[in-house]
Every structure is written in C-alpha cells, then in structure tokens.
Amino acid sequence: MDEGNHSTSDTTAESAWLPGVKALHKELMAHALAWPFLEPVDPIKLNIPTYFQIIERPMDFGTMQAKLQGSSSAANDVEGDDGMAGAFGGSSVAINYTSLDEYKQDLFLVFRNAIKFNTDDGREESVGYVHPFLCERNSMTDVACDLAISQNDCDSML
C-alpha cells in the first residue's frame, strides 16, 4: 500500500513541470516567428524531396502540443484530413511526455532539424530568434538555456 502512495506521489512530482511547459509551449506557438515550426514539414507540398534523407526524426510544435495534451491524434489534428499522419511519424508519436527531459529533447530537435536542413539557404534566422525568446521566459530559463543549441550558436546566426 505504501508503495502505491509512493508511486502516486512520484507521478505528481514528475508532472509538476507540466503546467509551466504547457504555458511556455502555448506562448512559443503564438510567437510571430514560430510559423515554420507549427506543423510537420510536407516535403511534397514544399517541393523538398530530400527532406527525409537529411532529417531522420522530424518534429514540430503541433505534434509536441498534442503530446502535451496526451492526444494520440496529433498528426490528424495538425495536418487536417490529408492522410499524411503516417508519412510524418503520426503513427509512431508517443501519446504524451513522461518527463521534462522528453519535452526538451523534442523542442530542440525542432531547431536542430531546421538548422541541419536549412544550413545552406540562409533562412535559419528564425531559429536564432526563437531560441533567445525561450531564454527570456524567466520561469522556464532552465528548459531553454541548458540544451544542445547554445546561446552562442544562436547569436552566430543573427
């Protein structure tokens, strides 16, 4: 019985980060420079046939939002009825985040993918502007600023 209470307590402690991350993510999605990251990349629509040759694990804010909501219909909600969910990882999307670390990994995967794919076309400024925006959020500074893309990396893009 004590073990069950401990488990419930652990679950509550582990999910304490969720309200703050949901608020941050909502603000992030509303940011003026977030538009390229709001939904999965559609290489057919965008005429970028090499996208999946370069990007092995696509991620976008809409899929992340669905994972935050615990929704397994992430791709359909974001992509509409065009049936692209399977092509963009919709069927393999985890139902939800079980830790802050998982959210962090996906958040910066979005930016790393953008940098990796757009290295030679000069349009990666939006990545550089969105990362400092995250760092401005006082309550979530540790989420944004201690990850794989450093402030120096972003500054060099500006």
Domain 17-157, CATH: 1.20.920.10
As a whole number of angstroms, the distance between CA 41 and CA 35 comes to: 11
**Would you say residue 64 has pLDDT above 90?**
yes
Query: Pick the residue with more confidence: 150 or 114?
Result: 114
Which one has a higher pLDDT value, 152 or 37?
A: 37
**Residue 107 predicted with pLDDT over 60:** yes
Residues 110 and 40 sit within 8 Å (Cβ to Cβ): no
How many angstroms separate the CA atoms of 156 and 131, rounded?
A: 12
Taking alpha carbons only, the member of 138, 136, 130, 123 closest to residue 154 is 130
Q: How distant, in Å, are the alpha carbons of 20, 90, 124, 147 from that of 155?
A: 26, 33, 12, 15
pLDDT in tens, 18-58: 888 999 999 999 998 889 899 999 999 999 999 999 999 99
- Please give the pLDDT value at position 68: 93
CA distances from 86 to 104, 110, 123, 135 (A): 24, 18, 28, 33
What pTM did the predictor assign?
0.61
Q: How confident is the model at residue 114 (pLDDT cuts 50, 70, 90)?
A: confident
Assess whether pLDDT exceeds 90 at residue 124: no
SS (H, E, C) the chain: CHHHHHHHHHHHHHHHHHHHHHHHHHHHHHCCCCHHHCCCCCCCCCCCCCHHHHCCCCCCHHHHHHHHHCCCCHHHHHHCCCCCCCCCCHHHCCCCCCCHHHHHHHHHHHHHHHHHHCCCCCCCHHHHHHHHHHHHCHHHHHHHHCCCCCHHHHHHHC
Confidence of residue 72 (pLDDT cuts 50, 70, 90): very low
